Copies of this chain bind each other. A is one copy, B any other.
Amino acid sequence: MKIIRNIVELRQEVKQYRVTSTGNGKVGFVPTMGFLHEGHASLMSRAHDLSDLVVLSIFVNPIQFGPGEDYETYPRHEEQDLALAERQGVDIVFIPTVEEMYPTQTLTKIMVSEVTQLLCGASRPGHFDGVTTVVSKLINIVQPDQAYFGLKDAQQIAVLQQMVHDLNMNVEIVPCPIVREADGLALSSRNVYLSSEERKQALVLSRSLLEVKGTFDSGESVNVSEIRKMLIALINSSPIAVIDYVEVLTFPELDRINDDVLLHDITGKLIMAVAVKFGKTRLIDNMLITPKEAVSLV
């Protein structure tokens, strides 16, 4: 496994690979902010299955954090990250410094409208401009065939797919399933912030999403407003949960649906997406449901 810290060297390495594989080898890219967990491991594993050369990047991107957010305190542990990457058979780890990625203040921003206006985009203004800008920088540096992202950040996937489509970027965004602890908690580098009591309370997220999905899967006729109300009531059963948002939207378009629309009248995928604070830590979780499929199973 090669560890590369500068852009020129990374480019040379990937170019060399392209030449030796006579253009047939696929380059898979897993961009991360480090502090890697089994969720990230599953992305690398998927990259191993679908791509030939696997490039992992570790970069805590300052421009996707707002003022007062956790950029400074975001957890970092390079040694541990490298061990996990090695174990997952990663070929190249790219770890640039902030100066390497932003030698001067960036005057250029990539902005995606509409799909960035709700959910985390509404709660964290400017966040997705920072994400799309850095991801396109990284994609321009690595020039991969596929880039792998976890569905826990479902909106991020929707936004990136829109960008790649609109800008004719020569890469496929590959969404990968959420990885959960045995007790249901979605893996996140930010889980480390939780006290043991907060961690226990945070289980309400996956439990609520699963319960509502269960109600729906059982064939019960519910509308969008009822689904949302059920989720809110279930999450509020935790005394310390403070809801940021609870939304039911189409996926990946992230369009709002009228309150009175019955779920089993909807074609295509839906996402139930939640963001909830436990103490100082804001966690997100979501679940996809495919109404038509579910109904046909009953």
A contact set with B: CB distance below 8 Å: 7, 11, 15, 18-19, 22-23, 104, 106-115, 132-133, 136-137, 140-141, 143, 162-163, 165-170
Contacts and interface: CB of A to CB of B under 8 A. Distances in A.
Nearest to A101: B168
Interface SS of chain A: mixed
A131 to B, nearest CB: 13
Give the one of A109, A143, A166 with max B CB within 10 A.
A166
Contacts of A7: 168
A136 B106 CA distance: 16
Contacts of A110: 108-111, 167
Contacts of A109: 110-111, 113
B137 A106 contact: no
Contacts of A114: 107
Contacts of A137: 166-168
Nearest to A138: B168
Nearest to A106: B166
A23 B17 CA distance: 11
A11 B107 contact: no
A133 B111 CA distance: 10
B167 A108 contact: yes
